[in-house]
Structure 1
Amino acid sequence: MILLQANQVARHFGGETLFQHINLEIKDKSRIALIGRNGAGKSTLLKMLAGEEEPDEGTITRTKNLSFGYLAQHTGLTSQKTVWEEVVSVFESVHAIESQMRELEKLISLESEKGNHADSNNYLEQYAALQQTFLDSNGYGIESEIKSVLHGFRFFESFYDQPVNTLSGGQKTRLALAKLLLEKPDLLILDEPTNHLDIDTLNWLEDYLQGYRGAILIVSHDRYFLDKIVTEVYELSRHQIYHYTGNYSRYLELKAAQQEQEWKAYDKQQAEIAKLEDFIARNLVRASTTKRAQSRRKKLEKMTRLDKPAGDEKSAKFLFQAERQSGRDVLAIEQAAIGYDDTVLSEPVTLHLRKQEAVALIGPNGIGKSTLLKSVTGQIPFLKGAAKLGQNVDIGYYDQEQANLTSRNTVLEELWQEHPTFPEKDIRTVLGAFLFSGEDVKKTIPLLSGGEKARVALAKLSMQKDNLLLLDEPTNHLDLDSKEVLEEALIDYDGTLLFVSHDRYFINRIATSVLELSENGSKLYHGDYDYYLEKKKEEQEVAEMTASKTEAEIPAASSAKRDFQQDKEHQRQKRSLEREIAALEEQLTNIDTHIAELQKQMEQPENLEDHEALTELNNQLTAQMEEQDAVMAEWEEKSLLYEDTY
């Protein structure tokens, strides 16, 4: 059954068209993603579908008695009630039925005592009808359902009595979404529901929505989330809308195939047009061929010409490069504690970050992921321990709040003040790569959107050319296209990465390891996010098996599997690998020292003026770096083997 239809919908702003000729259809149980670049009009279209705004053209029709819930972007609850009172209010009608049932129970008892069986039977019939409605509304399971949803959004019992107005902005948004899910409307319209959610909450929400009985329309930049939830994609692009069947990954495949077909058809027709035009030009004036030329001209005039396929919309071109190479060991944190005001968030935290590694920091909100990055940069002191930087390490830091942007500056001034010796045209070239051109560079920072501020901060970071980047939620505020461009830039980056992100698709593409933070400290997993999930599942299965065994079974099982000779061989291999790794590490240290000496010699004035000496030093440096890469590859191979011996 069709729940909602948009027919030829348009929105204009003055003489500009945001979108037009929009046709969209939502059926019961639909799972739809609405995607498009920032500024394409996604949120505006959602407001129209939700009835909050009227289209300038076209119509939106909804089925009779359609119930729908709309969660706008940056929406949060404002209420004087407690968290529990606010969500319980969703079930006021069910509680009213329960109250009527209690009253009827009293009347039934009273009339039975009086011997008024007719009245008693009448009340019993009313009670039976109400009880059925109560059962159909899950009346006996309401409390359990509320607790389950609140727990999913990380509102534990300690939050139940907390006034809603004392919650943070992100918590208010999560509570608004929790309340909406408990209402169970026929159609859920969600604008960026994954904002403010950590990975555990995202996983819970995905599972919940997969079992949701109504239809869902979602705007989200979380590609992992879209892949798991949606079965249709509508793309807003170039003022039009395009429909694809499948999840986000399937949409990418279909769009690429469609563009390829459009170009083939266009090129084929252009070749035919050129051939016809050439024949006409050569043969129209010749008496023997003029009729054939005229026939071809008529064919050309009747031809329905294909429009040139729209190329990709202008994309940002992020580029990150390191001005100098760091040593092999980039960052070391040993048994540290992180937090603030003597409040420990996570302990012990250990991390050994090596050159060109990309480590993703994950964990629940509030566990200290951002705090750890700020502790490494010195903004927040470690409560215990310290961060030790390696040789030639230059740190670049991206703050998710963009607190390092100066509000009084224009976009141009924001970069130029840090690099005053650069010509203006060079600064404009960098900004152009990040989609700031013309008058855009004269906008002041407060007038920028979240996505624009993110691009300014990334542009500043790219100009620093640091070899260690600490990134705190770098994909926040970026549209899908900009995320993909950022991913490619970071994949090509020749430095080292330590980043916080709840974008699992992004983590999968970038991370070489995942560092999980919890109250009990850190744990490192060598691999991407999917590998991390596999290992967590294995750990859970082992824990469950161990818990199910009796104390007597555990040592029996262990001794049955362990053979003395095998264990002896295992230890021998382990010691051999330890010696080989230690030798390789010593070799790498010597190479690092030699590279540093060569770089220092190349910076000496006498060598800078001697072309032959500089060339010879550069050749030596290149040879050392090649040897470093080879030894590093062998060290990584041996280290992985060593980890497998545990």
Structure 2
Amino acid sequence: MKKGGWFTVILLQVQQVTRRFGASVLFENVSMDVPEHGRVALVGRNGAGKSTLLKMIAGETTPDVGQITTKRGLTMGYQAQNAGLASTKTVWNEMLSVFTKLIAMEKRMHELEAQMSDPNVTADQEQFAQVSSSYDQLQQDFSDQNGYGYQAEIRGVLHGFEFDEDYYDKPINELSGGQRTQLALAKLLLERPDLLILDEPTNHLDVETLTWLEGYLQGYPGAILVVSHDRYFLDHVVNDVYDMAHGGLDHYPGNYSHYIAAKAERLRLSWKEYDKQQAEISKLEDFVNKNIVRASTTKRAQARRKQLEKMDKLDRPEGDDKAARFSFKPRRQSGNVVLDVVNGAVGYDGHILAAPVTLDIKKHQSVAIVGPNGIGKSTLLKTILGRIPAIQGQIIFGTGVDTGYYDQDQATLHDKKSVLHELWDDHPTTPEGDIRSILGSFLFTGADVDKSVHSLSGGERARLLLTKLALRHDNFLMLDEPTNHLDIDSREVLETALNEFDGTILFVSHDRYFINQVATQVVELSPEGTTRYLGNYDYYVAKKAEQDAYAAKEAEEAEAAHPTVTAPKQTQVDYQAQKEQAKAKRKLSRQVTALEDQMADLEQQKTAIETEMSQEENFNDAGKLGDLQAQLTTITTQLSETEDSWTEKSLELEEFAD
């Protein structure tokens, strides 16, 4: 494969693959290439076969037809959807198991160090030289393979997934399912396979962790193949999209936004060609019908008929005709003031998670609540609704406000009811035909309406909840993670419905693309309470960065100014000592952080040089390889020295903690 004047190494090829289930075909004749360092997304509706194809690529199943080939020696790491680690080891020891080779090398280095200190060895020059040579080579290999930095790498990845040192000694089998899933992904990232295969890796991650994961994957040295419904994530990580639809697979270069535009343009051109041919067919058929029985024009009519028979007729373009179609229409209008929360608090059993909470929501606003997992976003919605007692403050609804609530736990559904009766029981005076028609617009057709709620998938339950919400005709919608379980098409339909809604919205979501499309303002919830940002998610991120930079600058200026603090004489000395100690600790902390950033930068440079050395065009260029080797030696030495400095400074910082 040639790309941009260079030959691109293909790590994996899917060639004319088909998957059948009995007599039905899930997909057929699908093909895909994953290049070296590729960033490939596989998108499509729920049930299209994305996870099935990933399992084939990972080697867990085999194709019914076709083949999947890989580059010789390719290492693959596969993270199935919601698959967590099953281990009795502690978090730290499980992550440490990735580096058994380095640990063995480290042990061997210590053994050689002991031998070199042995008087019997030092007395024998030849034996000492042999041991020293082995040690030097082993130490170089150890350093080249990040032997001096692998523990820092473990800490960095665990920190990215919000596992601090309190978790290091906890057995994994005692953690929650979500935490075990995150640890499985953390371990996979540390293993660094040539090809990462990830099925919905962003599920249940908060925004901070998602942002960290995006940055990590952007710098990942191998290739990535990912299935995700997180469009913001796809926009920031991938540069190739394969769309699984109508039993096939279409390729679109670029990120998710490019894919959406290109797919729409492809469909437009397909319709243009189809309509053009249909007009030509209609014209030919009309001529044949009018002239076939007339003696003077029979031959021309026969010629047109043959032309029709030989024509390669285009299939009718297949768009997304089966997308859900729904809208939210309020029964009446509310007053301008919809909701005020004054000096509120989020928490439970008297334990406050965030305070003070202030909300001032006016008619037609769409307000997104964001914040880390566990801060109480869902609790805030339930407190406003009165489902959880308010700890403090006032919650005041405006005049004429009708509130509809979407519960991410889907607890309001009745498992023993059928889909039809889940809706009809709420609206018994509505004719059955109308109920069935409404369910059909939410993609519940035919026998689907007779399914029990218990048997529905997460996505189907989400659509059923939205159906119930749409039928209430409320003017104030409170939505808790409404995009969970929805595929991309359903998310886009929901966005359209909410943007056309003539009412007010307050919602919690970790779907940043969704927030960008729907929110007119963002409220950040933190232990210090609420902060309002008058824009969408991108505006919120930009404003936060600006505020953080300003705060950091102010802190530096304040520290440089050394303001004099007046204190009683008997406490002045103690205070000054504490102040100097705190200052020294902050300085050390900054140095440790700077060294960690420096190590990460050197690691990236080292990986880039090693990648360049492995490229085919450099194999026979001795001069180029020599230059690269010299650069690699310099970088490796700098990295080793930086790691030593980091270890020294970290130990000093730990002494402050003690």
TM-score normalised by L of structure 1: 0.83
Work out which of the residue numbers 434, 458, 462 in structure 1 matches 2:470: 462
Cα distance in 2 for partners of 1:296, 1:394 equals: 65
* Aligned residue pair count: 555
Cα distance in 2 for partners of 1:123, 1:235 equals: 58
* 2:197 equivalent to 1:189: yes
* 2:137 equivalent to 1:123: no
Show structure 1 runs of 5+ residues with no match: 556-646
Residue matched to 2:434 = 426
Give the CA deviation at 1:12: 0.9
Give the CA deviation at 1:371: 0.6
Show CA shifts across 1:451-506 (max 9, x none).
00101111111111122111110000000100000001111111211100011111
Residue matched to 1:326 = 334
Show CA shifts across 1:503-549 (max 9, x none).
11110111111000111111011111111111111101211221221
CA contact (8 A) 2:116 2:122 kept: no
CA contact (8 A) 1:174 1:196 kept: no
Give the CA deviation at 1:312: 2.1
One-letter identity of the residue aligned with 1:479: D
* 2:457 equivalent to 1:449: yes
Cα distance in 2 for partners of 1:112, 1:369 equals: 68
Cα distance in 2 for partners of 1:285, 1:490 equals: 59
Work out which of the residue numbers 475, 479, 483 in structure 1 matches 2:483: 475
Say which is worse superposed, 160-169 or 41-50, in terms of deviation.
160-169
SS of residue matched to 2:328: coil
Cα distance in 1 for partners of 2:275, 2:306 equals: 21
- For residues 206-605 of structure 1, the aligned pairs below 5 Å read 206-550=214-558
One-letter identity of the residue aligned with 2:377: K
Give the CA deviation at 1:114: 4.6
Give the CA deviation at 1:438: 1.4
One-letter identity of the residue aligned with 1:117: Q
SS of residue matched to 2:118: helix
Change over 3 Å in CA distance of 1:552–1:63 after alignment to 2: closer
Cα distance in 2 for partners of 1:278, 1:377 equals: 65
One-letter identity of the residue aligned with 1:496: T
CA contact (8 A) 1:111 1:119 kept: no
Cα distance in 1 for partners of 2:253, 2:305 equals: 41
Residue matched to 1:23 = 31
CA contact (8 A) 1:546 1:554 kept: no
Residue matched to 2:154 = 146
Give the CA deviation at 1:112: 6.1
- For residues 18-57 of structure 1, the aligned pairs below 5 Å read 18-57=26-65
Say which is worse superposed, 311-320 or 3-12, in terms of deviation.
311-320
* 2:83 equivalent to 1:75: yes
SS of residue matched to 2:77: strand
Give the CA deviation at 1:279: 3.1
Residue matched to 1:173 = 181
Show CA shifts across 1:370-390 (max 9, x none).
110111111212222232111
Cα distance in 1 for partners of 2:264, 2:298 equals: 43
Change over 3 Å in CA distance of 1:382–1:8 after alignment to 2: same
Give the CA deviation at 1:289: 4.1
Change over 3 Å in CA distance of 1:418–1:276 after alignment to 2: closer
CA contact (8 A) 1:111 1:117 kept: no
Change over 3 Å in CA distance of 1:2–1:551 after alignment to 2: closer
Cα distance in 2 for partners of 1:47, 1:462 equals: 37
SS of residue matched to 2:410: coil
One-letter identity of the residue aligned with 1:107: Q
One-letter identity of the residue aligned with 2:373: N
One-letter identity of the residue aligned with 1:423: P
Cα distance in 2 for partners of 1:87, 1:128 equals: 28
Give the CA deviation at 1:46: 0.5
- Identity within the alignment, %: 57
* 2:118 equivalent to 1:110: yes
SS of residue matched to 1:139: coil
CA contact (8 A) 2:121 2:127 kept: no
CA contact (8 A) 1:79 1:164 kept: yes
Give the CA deviation at 1:550: 4.2
One-letter identity of the residue aligned with 2:402: D
Cα distance in 1 for partners of 2:246, 2:150 equals: 46
Show CA shifts across 1:416-473 (max 9, x none).
2222222222221221111111111111112110100101111111111122111110
Give the CA deviation at 1:113: 5.0
SS of residue matched to 1:381: coil
Change over 3 Å in CA distance of 1:281–1:419 after alignment to 2: closer
SS of residue matched to 1:140: coil
Give the CA deviation at 1:251: 0.6
TM-score normalised by L of structure 2: 0.82
One-letter identity of the residue aligned with 1:437: T
Give the CA deviation at 1:19: 0.7
Change over 3 Å in CA distance of 1:199–1:552 after alignment to 2: closer
CA contact (8 A) 1:111 1:120 kept: no
